[in-house]
Amino acid sequence: MIHERIETHSNMMDPHVDTDEIVDRYVRHQLAPDQQQAFEDHFFGCEECFDKVQDAERFRSGILDASARLLLKDDSLPVGARRAWTMWALAATACASVVLAAVSGWLYFEQLPTLRNELAQTAGRLDAERQAREATARAVSAADAPEGNVALVMLQASRAADAATSTVLAPDAKRLILWIEVGTSTFRSFRLEVTTPDGRRIASIDRLEKGPYGALSVSLPADTLPAGTLRITLSGQDPPPGTLVGDYQLQIQKR
């Protein structure tokens, strides 16, 4: 029995008795009360056993501290408790893996295609806006550039087709200037409209005022003017009510 082994060691009858098992059971509190009392009576008088107990206690404290820090599991726990803890840890890990897989699948199959489509649409809009800005910049630059041989037409009020004013626009023409003699009028401002024979409006300009020579001048983009006969109407605008002041026919020819 262990008590007899402890007494034998204490009486130095066998100085080579291995007490490691006894020390291990002692620090684990696995000795019976009488065995624990006997071992304590012994190791307080035995320097070798006392050192072993101190070393075992320090080792056990280190294990418990590591377990508390989740670095190791305390192997002093009952087998059933360790097994239950292990099963719980495995179950939690499995659940986390399933959730992670579900979230990953949802992102891959549901969200990523949507995000790709939105990104493609955004990229398309940005590219269209960039092209529009570049086109606008080119148009502004072209409009600001000096232009020679600008077509100028002095309109004569008449509804007769054979009395239509004619002009020829070159392929590279950018503007067409209309000059309209108003003469004496009670209106301070006027409205001008350009339409096709079928009534489609090409241009509309408000708040036209007479210049120093008593005439109105209007500049129209050449690329908006189709070849053929256009109708140009001039109405008084201020003071109201507005009334028709002039009706003109303009024959456009393009080279």
Question: Tens of pLDDT along 56-96?
Answer: 788 777 776 666 555 444 455 555 555 565 666 666 677 77
Q: Say how far apart CA 167 and CA 176 lie, in whole Å.
A: 9
Is 48 domain-assigned? Answer: yes
Contact status, residue 237 vs residue 206, Cβ threshold 8 Å: yes
Q: Is residue 113 part of a domain?
A: no
* Closest among 248, 238, 241, 246 to 190, alpha carbons compared: 238
Residues 69 and 160 in one domain: no
Q: In angstroms, rounded to a whole number, what is the distance separating the alpha carbons of residues 83 and 87?
A: 6
Confidence of residue 108 (pLDDT cuts 50, 70, 90): low
pLDDT confidence bin for 185, thresholds 50/70/90: confident
Is residue 206 a contact partner of residue 191, using CB atoms and an 8 Å limit? yes
pLDDT of residue 191 exceeding 90, the answer is yes
What's the pLDDT band for 236 if we cut at 50, 70, 90? very high
Smallest CA-to-CA distance from 202 within 189, 180, 218 is with: 218
The CATH number of residue 173's host domain is 2.60.40.1220
Q: Hey, what are 51's tokens?
A: 């050192």
Is 32 a residue whose pLDDT tops 90?
A: no
Last-in-domain residue among 36, 52, 76: 76
Query: Which is nearest to 191 in space by CA: 204, 178, 177?
Result: 204
Same domain, 71 and 155: no
The answer as to whether 30 is a domain residue is yes
Together in a domain, 71 and 156: no
Confirm whether 226 is domain-assigned.
Answer: yes
Domain end among 54, 76, 98: 76
Confidence of residue 15 (pLDDT cuts 50, 70, 90): very low
In a domain, 110, yes or no: no
- Within a domain: residue 58? yes
Whether residue 143 is contained in a domain is answered as: no
Range of the domain at 66: 2-76
Predicted confidence at residue 141, as pLDDT, reads 62
Q: Among 26, 43, 76, where does a domain finish?
A: 76
Taking alpha carbons only, the member of 255, 253, 250 closest to residue 178 is: 250
With cut-offs at 50, 70 and 90, classify the pLDDT of residue 45. Answer: confident
* Number of independent structural domains in the chain: 2
Q: Do 156 and 243 share a domain, yes or no?
A: yes
Is residue 140 a part of any domain in this protein? no
